[in-house]
Amino acid sequence: MGTSSQTLCGCNSVVECQPSKLFVAGSIPVTRSKLLGVAQPGSAPALGAGGREFDPLHRDQFNMKIIKISKTIIHFHQGPIGISCSGGVDSSVLLYILMKYVKDPIHIFTCASKLKNYTTVKSSTEVIRKCIELTNNNNVTHHIRYVDEQTFENLFYPQQYSLINVMYTGVTLNPPEAVTDNFKEKSAEDERNPGTIKSFYKQTSKLTYMPFANIDKKEIYNIYKELDLLQSLYPLTRSCEDLNLLEGHCGQCWWCEERLWAFNKL
């Protein structure tokens, strides 16, 4: 496996590196200690999207484990934690990472909509079973909410946050405009468009953390490759949004084209 808890100052040493400040847009300021994988309080404010100072909301963040996979840095907050998981490529690999490195309870939330024929139930369940098999971690609880239509309010509802300290989501950037201009459909998720630095954290009723907010699916592919998940986990994920297809991929919708662009296969 290629995963590492590397130092964050750019050197290759894991243990010998001197403390260095970590500045990530939208992140919490931390410094790197000699103790592997533990972050210490920083002295300067971190900047969110647009250069705004990020106000830390939880004391536990200063004792977080931090890992780097491919080019992506991921923080592990104190649990119990939650994750929104549809069974797509982004949320599935994030779930695997959390189950591999987090020992606290993990609550997995899936929104199953009648409009989409409840297809997320099968894909998310298969992904969770595989992640349990791969990580040997079954300290998870799967919550499925059945609704008529998937909305933001149905994805993130108040009862979830009473169970957790932090919510993780796998939202990523859209591909570059030069790529999506050639897609047959247009994305309705313009907030994912690249070009501006996105904040990794949002405050709802609890803290929401989006470690993939500034990467697209090409980097998600790199993460799958580095974690050796292309043959085990990836085939169980599903990205298709064709409302008439109950399983598999249509190969024509925007999300299928994004998947093909990043992974070169469905």
What angle, rounded to 10 degrees, do the helices at 89-101 and 254-263 form? 60
Between CA 127 and CA 95 the distance in angstroms is 9
**Which 3 state secondary structure label does DSSP give 252?**
coil
**Which 3 state secondary structure label does DSSP give 3?**
coil
Burial call 219-245: b when 16+ CB within 10 Å, e when fewer: bbbbbbebbebeeebbebbbbbbbeeb
If you search the block for the tokens 């982004």, which residue do you land on?
A: 90
The one-digit pLDDT tens for each residue of the chain (266 residues) are 443 332 233 332 222 222 233 333 333 333 332 222 333 333 233 333 333 333 444 444 456 789 999 999 999 999 999 999 999 999 999 999 999 999 999 999 998 888 888 898 999 999 999 999 999 999 999 999 888 877 766 666 667 888 999 999 999 999 999 999 999 988 767 778 888 888 898 877 778 999 999 999 999 999 999 999 999 999 999 999 888 888 899 999 999 999 999 999 99
For 76-263, which CATH class?
alpha beta
- Please report the pLDDT score of residue 62 as a whole number: 52
- Please report the pLDDT score of residue 116 as a whole number: 86
pTM of the full predicted structure? 0.78
Between CA 64 and CA 156 the distance in angstroms is 24
Please report, as a single letter, which amino acid is at residue 127.
V
Residue 186 exposed, middle or buried by CB count within 10 Å (0-12, 13-18, 19+): exposed
- My answer on whether omega of the bond before 158 falls inside 30° of 0, hence cis, is no
Each domain of the chain, given as residue ranges in start order, spans: 76-263
What angle, rounded to 10 degrees, do the helices at 217-226 and 89-101 form? 40
User: Could you tell me which residues come within 8 angstroms of residue 265 by beta carbon, excluding any fewer than 6 positions away?
Assistant: none
Please report, as a single letter, which amino acid is at residue 86.
S
User: Could you tell me which residues come within 8 angstroms of residue 253 by beta carbon, excluding any fewer than 6 positions away?
Assistant: 185, 240, 241, 242
Please report, as a single letter, which amino acid is at residue 229.
L
- Please report the pLDDT score of residue 137 as a whole number: 98
User: Measured on CA atoms in the order 15, 20, 25, 30, is the torsion positive or negative?
Assistant: positive
